[in-house]
């Protein structure tokens, strides 16, 4: 589960957030309503949740849909110059 939390609250409740990380939670830290950091389990952690990763990727893809009329072949070729 991804939970948004303000930077001041994250600073004052860090031990509680770390326990939440151990329980499988993920946090997005915001500053004046804008996401500035993600607090997630370290790599190799036993609490890694593949379903949450898929949900995050699907959410990202929905929020960042590619525009129509973009020619991917042209973009690929530009990168090869």
Q: Is the pLDDT of residue 1 over 80?
A: no
Q: Which domains does the chain have, with CATH numbers?
A: 2-79 (3.40.1620.10)
Q: How confident is the model at residue 66 (pLDDT cuts 50, 70, 90)?
A: low
Query: What pLDDT is stored for residue 74 in this prediction?
Result: 83
Mean pLDDT of 51-78: 78
What is the SS3 assignment for the chain?
Answer: CEEEEEHHHHHHCHHHHHHHHHCCCEEEEEECCEEEEEECCCCCCCCCCHHHHHHHHHHHHHHCCCCCCCCHHHHHHHHCC
| Predicted confidence (pLDDT) per residue in 2-55, tens digit | 899 999 999 999 999 999 998 889 999 999 999 999 998 887 655 557 788 888
Least confident of 8-12, 40-44, 63-67, 72-76: 63-67
């Amino acid at each position: 589960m991804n939970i948004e939390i303000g930077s001041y609250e994250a600073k004052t409740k860090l031990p509680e957030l770390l326990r939440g990380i151990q329980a499988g939670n993920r946090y997005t830290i915001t500053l004046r309503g804008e996401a500035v950091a993600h607090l997630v389990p370290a790599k190799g952690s036993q609490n890694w949740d593949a379903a949450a990763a898929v949900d995050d990727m699907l959410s990202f893809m929905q929020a960042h849909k590619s525009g129509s009329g973009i020619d991917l072949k042209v973009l690929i070729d530009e990168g090869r110059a």
